[in-house]
Every structure is written in C-alpha cells, then in structure tokens.
Amino acid sequence: MSELPAATRERLRKYQEHFQGMNKHTYLKGRYDKLTSVAIPLALAVSSLALIGKGIYNMSHGIGKKA
C-alpha cells in the first residue's frame, strides 16, 4: 500500500511560488504569523513589565508584607 500525498504537486508549487515571491521575513509570511510572532510576545513583555513595576512600587513603600 502506498500512502497518498498530503497535497498535489500543483498546490505545493502554488504555495512555493507565493511564499518565495514575498519580500517579508520568513516568519511573517503566513496568515496569522503576525499574531504569534509579534502580538503575543509584545503582550507578554508589557504585562511582565507592569508586574515588575508593581512589585518594585510595593517593595519601596512596604505594601503587602506578610508579617
């Protein structure tokens, strides 16, 4: 038994021409790549900086000590 290919040669050739013809970076060529490569890391960085800032403020003012 032979396994069927995942896509036809014509379809693969169409995708290959599409991606090779673009002038963007390779990690931004897909449909949702801007979301996963830019937006999510940016959101994580902003939220971590906000939490670090809150922690520094609390430590400098003595807020939130256990005992």
Question: Taking phi first (over 0 means left), then psi (-120 to 50 degrees means alpha), and beta for anything else, what does residue 54 get?
Answer: alpha
**Band (29; pLDDT cuts 50, 70, 90):** low
Q: How confident is the model at residue 64, as a pLDDT?
A: 86
pTM tops 0.95? no
How far is the C-alpha of 65 from the C-alpha of 67, rounded, in Å?
A: 6
C-alpha pair distances (Å), 25 with each of 3, 30, 38, 49, 65: 33, 10, 13, 28, 48
Look at residue 2 and tell me whether its pLDDT is greater than 90: no
